[in-house]
């Protein structure tokens, strides 16, 4: 038996005399390995554990088997090639401070937690002496966390790295004047109560205004009261719905004066430290309504006799680093925003318009600075080599996706006809080559069409469409993926710090859950820790065209991990790539700007490169921009829900074709495919049977009949109630339940999980 581990993250966890025993029959116990992983979250990969305990040869095989057993038993999770205890808090995490203990120590919990049970508590350590942020109750902070040994106290301690902007206790709502002259606040969040406003607390608000209010303490009788703090705008104006999401999610949308002043003072880039590529006919291909253009492409056959059938692809990306230097007001604001946020009615940009739509936008016929990568591919689509260049370019044409596709399909217009043979056809020929490489690589191929909301001039919904997926879209997508790979490979080869775009394989728990579900459809998924996207593609191919195709695509999607940013590479599972970094959109993503700076520094391309101070903060920056990305996604989704709910508010009692998009103990979420919005059907309204939740089959089935409803079922529903500003809709099920083979097999297991379900019938927010 090995000696107890006493170290933290300070090198070898064992003492010198224990170390001397390693060469014999020394093997650490299960408890010691679990303890080491808990105390060393940043050094918990299999190799690092083996090194910490000096395990070699057969002992490493023994360790591998033991770690797999611990995962199967649910005692360990594997994330990013690191092992963690279930429910472990990341080493760098966003925390919400909620109170103090009896000794006055601040206590916090993770802002996002997906582990079992309640979120763990983190005791916040306050640095004594000068400097360092000083947090308080109610603050949201970015902190480094460290596991503790005290079984009776908080599981972690945390050191605050950054305090996010404070949020008051204020909430958002719509000011309404009732017929009797009283004032109410209509909620904009699904779980927020209606509020009463007394006349003396109206603060100038008018009917239909979006307001920020401070709720008072609730009384024992009647609705709680509130006072208006600020009027944010009128719901009768355009862009009002997205303004709700902007304020609800604390998205910075007004540039400070010093940021605007710096942007306006910027001078256009010159040819200094640049190659002159203005004669190269690079073209931009974007959505027809795009206002900024940060990528341009060109392709030509490779004339090298050693590479028959090969192609040379050039991707040029706006050189944002030429204008945004680390530590300036522009840079600090860009990091604070993290990314641009795209709503149906507006864009909240990461950079001011002077930068994003002017100096950095690769406008047709205008000189623009860029960082370009020239990549050579074999006829099989395998990248042979690449080089990066800092250039001055001039876009030969600004094209829209349908316009470029129409030219290739034999319907050129006045702009595409002159460049059809010289520019467009070589691009499509190069894409055919790259597609062979993609087919060989086999990334995850989910068939999930995206919807786009088209608005009327007044900002209300006109219609919802599913844009056609063109080869022009796929061409640009594949060119950008390859450019991103080249950037990651170059920086890694130069040992330059960078932020990777990482996507972990599905956890073992999600794999097992998916495997159990597929078994109910007589489909199998191979076991093994090293999953490949091709294994999922095989499942998807087997159900292509079948009645359950949408169901399987949906469940496979939900089994996947969420992509994020990290300075530590684990590869990108979905794209099936070992190295991947975001490089191609620095106008709208801060991660890409970091990669640009890294390339400039690593390749000696002039000023604006990554500084040592910035490199030292990459772990913090990666956590920040991952959080801002999730914030943007939530805000965009909420806005779509509100727009569609408002659009359907006049169609209460109408019937719709729907698809079940979520199954819970409380009821069914249904999506209207025509509109892409969700609503809820409480389980208590499904009929006279007692419905049981079968987690494995993603279904609710009747205890008496065995019939029920399953994820992705197509059903007919009636719209009963709409709360437009909350984006919530309640439906009635019109389709009779169907026979569900497989539900009976897990009946007893499901029944025990669902007995309390009938009392939960309120609508819940959509969070996938």
> What is the per-residue pLDDT across 640-666, written as a single tens digit (0 to 9) for each?
888 888 889 889 999 999 989 889 999
Q: Which top CATH class is 16-84?
A: mainly alpha
- Those residues whose C-beta lies under 8 Å from the C-beta of residue 37, and which sit 6 or more positions away, are 44, 49, 76, 83, 84, 85
**DSSP string for 523-558:** ------SS--HHHHHHHHHHTTTSTTHHHHHHHHHH
Asked if 702 and 754 count as a contact pair (C-beta separation under 8 A), the reply is no
Q: Which two tokens stand for residue 599?
A: 């390339």
Q: Of 584, 558, 568, 559, which Cα lies nearest the Cα of 623?
A: 568
Residue 260: predicted pLDDT: 94
pLDDT confidence bin for 264, thresholds 50/70/90: very high
Asked if 388 and 604 count as a contact pair (C-beta separation under 8 A), the reply is no
Asked if 689 and 754 count as a contact pair (C-beta separation under 8 A), the reply is no
Residues 283-291 have a mean pLDDT of 93
Asked if 301 and 426 count as a contact pair (C-beta separation under 8 A), the reply is yes
Rg of the chain over all Cα atoms, to the nearest angstrom: 28
Q: Where are the domains of the chain?
A: 16-84, 92-163, 171-237, 257-497+576-634, 507-559, 652-759
Question: How far is Cα 210 from Cα 229, in angstroms, rounded to an integer?
Answer: 11
Residue 629 above 60 pLDDT? yes
Asked if 703 and 686 count as a contact pair (C-beta separation under 8 A), the reply is no
Asked if 389 and 320 count as a contact pair (C-beta separation under 8 A), the reply is no
Q: Which two tokens stand for residue 640?
A: 């779509």
Q: Of 431, 426, 361, which Cα lies nearest the Cα of 586?
A: 361
Going through 45-194 in order, the beta strands assigned E by DSSP cover 77-79, 82-84, 92-100, 106-110, 122-125, 140-147, 156-163, 171-177, 183-187
What is the sign of the dihedral through the CA atoms of 542, 548, 553 and 558? negative
**H/E stretch holding 454:** strand 452-455
Which of 83-92, 436-445, 541-550, 616-625 is predicted least confidently?
Answer: 83-92
What is the sign of the dihedral through the CA atoms of 639, 644, 646 and 652? negative
**H/E stretch holding 259:** helix 257-265
Which of 68-82, 96-110, 602-616, 669-683 is predicted least confidently?
Answer: 68-82
Residue 218: predicted pLDDT: 61
What CATH fold (topology level) applies to the domain 92-163? OB fold (Dihydrolipoamide Acetyltransferase, E2P) (2.40.50)
> What is the per-residue pLDDT across 314-326, written as a single tens digit (0 to 9) for each?
999 999 999 999 9
Per cent of the chain over pLDDT 70 is 86
Residue 336: predicted pLDDT: 93
Asked if 297 and 283 count as a contact pair (C-beta separation under 8 A), the reply is yes
Which of 239-243, 372-376, 400-404 is predicted least confidently?
Answer: 239-243
Residue 20 above 50 pLDDT? no
Residue 18 above 50 pLDDT? no
Per the prediction, the chain carries an average pLDDT of 85
Asked if 715 and 660 count as a contact pair (C-beta separation under 8 A), the reply is yes
> How many residues in total does the chain contain?
768
pLDDT confidence bin for 110, thresholds 50/70/90: confident
pLDDT confidence bin for 577, thresholds 50/70/90: very high
Per cent of the chain over pLDDT 90 is 47
Question: How far is Cα 724 from Cα 641, in angstroms, rounded to an integer?
Answer: 8
Residue 615 above 90 pLDDT? yes
Asked if 739 and 706 count as a contact pair (C-beta separation under 8 A), the reply is yes
Which of 35-49, 256-270, 377-391, 427-441 is predicted least confidently?
Answer: 35-49
> What is the per-residue pLDDT across 114-126, written as a single tens digit (0 to 9) for each?
666 678 889 998 7
Residue 643: predicted pLDDT: 87
Q: Which two tokens stand for residue 325?
A: 């230097």
Residue 318: predicted pLDDT: 98
Q: Which CATH architecture has domain 171-237?
A: Beta Barrel (2.40)
What CATH fold (topology level) applies to the domain 652-759? OB fold (Dihydrolipoamide Acetyltransferase, E2P) (2.40.50)
Same fold, 171-237 and 652-759: yes
- Write the CA distances from 712 to 104, 280, 538, 549, 765, integer angstroms: 50, 49, 20, 9, 18
- Write the CA distances from 677 to 190, 455, 531, 641, 674, integer angstroms: 15, 15, 32, 6, 8
Helix axes 533-542, 549-558, angle to 10 degrees: 160
Please state the φ and ψ torsions of residue 504, each to the nearest 5 degrees.
Answer: -75, 155
Residue 83 above 80 pLDDT? no
Residues 77-83 have a mean pLDDT of 66
């Amino acid at each position: 038996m090995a000696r107890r581990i006493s170290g933290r993250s300070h090198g070898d966890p064992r003492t010198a005399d224990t170390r001397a025993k390693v060469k014999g029959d020394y093997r650490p116990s299960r408890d010691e390995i679990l303890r080491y992983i808990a105390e060393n979250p940043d050094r918990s990969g299999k190799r690092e554990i083996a090194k910490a305990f000096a395990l070699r040869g057969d002992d490493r095989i023994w360790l591998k088997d033991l770690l797999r057993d611990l995962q199967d038993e649910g005692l360990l999770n594997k994330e990013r090639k690191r092992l963690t205890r279930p429910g472990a808090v990341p080493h760098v995490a966003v925390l919400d401070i909620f109170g103090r203990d009896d000794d006055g120590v601040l206590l916090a919990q993770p802002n996002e937690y997906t582990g079992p049970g309640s979120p763990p508590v983190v005791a916040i350590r306050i640095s004594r002496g000068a400097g360092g942020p000083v947090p308080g109750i109610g603050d949201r902070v970015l902190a480094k966390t460290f596991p503790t040994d005290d079984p009776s106290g908080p599981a972690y301690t945390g050191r605050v790295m950054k305090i996010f902007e404070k949020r008051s206790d204020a909430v958002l709502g719509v000011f309404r004047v009732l017929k009797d002259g009283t004032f109410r606040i209509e909620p904009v969040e699904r779980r927020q109560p209606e509020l009463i406003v007394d006349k003396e607390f109206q603060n100038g608000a008018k009917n239909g205004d979006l307001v920020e209010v401070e709720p008072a303490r609730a009384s024992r009788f009647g609705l709680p009261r509130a006072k208006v703090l600020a009027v944010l705008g009128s719901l009768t104006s355009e862009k009002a719905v997205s303004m709700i999401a902007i304020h609800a999610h604390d998205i910075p949308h007004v540039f400070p004066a010093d940021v605007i002043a710096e942007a306006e003072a910027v001078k256009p880039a010159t040819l200094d430290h640049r190659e002159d590529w203005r004669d190269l006919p690079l073209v931009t291909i974007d959505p027809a309504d795009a206002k900024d253009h940060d990528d341009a492409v060109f392709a030509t056959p490779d004339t090298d006799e050693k590479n028959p059938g090969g192609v040379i692809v050039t991707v040029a990306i706006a050189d944002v680093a030429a204008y945004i230097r680390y530590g300036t007001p522009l840079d600090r604001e860009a990091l604070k925003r993290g990314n641009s946020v795209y709503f149906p009615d507006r864009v909240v940009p990461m950079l001011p318009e002077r930068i994003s739509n002017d100096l950095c936008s690769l406008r047709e016929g205008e000189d623009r600075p860029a960082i370009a990568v020239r990549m050579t591919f074999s006829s099989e689509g395998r990248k042979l080599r690449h080089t990066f260049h800092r250039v001055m370019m001039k876009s030969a044409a600004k094209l829209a996706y349908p316009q470029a596709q129409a030219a290739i399909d034999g319907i050129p217009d006045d702009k595409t006809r002159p460049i059809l043979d010289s520019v467009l056809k070589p691009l499509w020929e190069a894409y055919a080559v790259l597609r062979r490489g993609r087919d060989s690589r086999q990334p995850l191929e989910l068939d999930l069409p995206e919807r786009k909301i088209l608005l009327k001039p007044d900002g209300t919904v006109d219609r919802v469409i599913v844009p056609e997926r063109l080869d022009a879209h796929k061409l640009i997508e594949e060119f950008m993926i390859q450019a991103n790979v080249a950037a990651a490979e170059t920086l890694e080869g130069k040992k330059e710090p960078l932020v990777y775009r990482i996507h972990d394989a599905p956890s073992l728990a999600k794999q097992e859950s998916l495997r159990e579900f597929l078994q109910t459809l007589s489909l199998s998924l191979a076991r093994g820790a090293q999953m490949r996207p091709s294994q999922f593609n095989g499942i998807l191919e087997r159900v292509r065209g079948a009645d359950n195709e949408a169901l399987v695509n949906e469940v496979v999607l939900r089994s996947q991990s969420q992509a994020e940013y990290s300075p530590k590479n684990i590869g990108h599972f979905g794209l099936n790539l070992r190295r991947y970094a975001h490089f191609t959109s620095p106008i709208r993503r801060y991660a890409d700007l970091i990669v640009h700076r890294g390339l400039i520094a690593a390749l000696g391309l002039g000023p604006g490169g990554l500084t040592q101070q910035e490199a030292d903060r990459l772990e913090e920056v990666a956590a920040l921009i991952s959080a801002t990305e999730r914030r943007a996604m939530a805000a965009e989704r909420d806005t779509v829900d509100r727009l569609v709910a408002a659009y359907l508010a006049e169609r209460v009692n109408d019937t719709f074709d729907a698809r079940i998009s979520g199954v819970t103990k409380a009821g069914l979420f249904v999506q209207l495919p025509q509109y892409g919005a969700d609503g809820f059907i409480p389980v208590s309204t499904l009929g006279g049977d007692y419905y049981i939740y079968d987690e494995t089959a993603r279904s609710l089935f009747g205890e008496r009949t065995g019939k029920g409803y399953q994820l992705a079922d197509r059903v007919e529903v009636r719209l009963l109630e709409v709360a437009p500003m909350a984006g919530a809709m309640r439906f009635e099920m019109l389709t009779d339940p169907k026979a569900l083979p497989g539900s009976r097999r897990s009946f007893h297991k499901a029944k025990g999980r669902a007995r309390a379900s009938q009392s939960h019938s309120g609508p819940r927010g959509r969070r996938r």
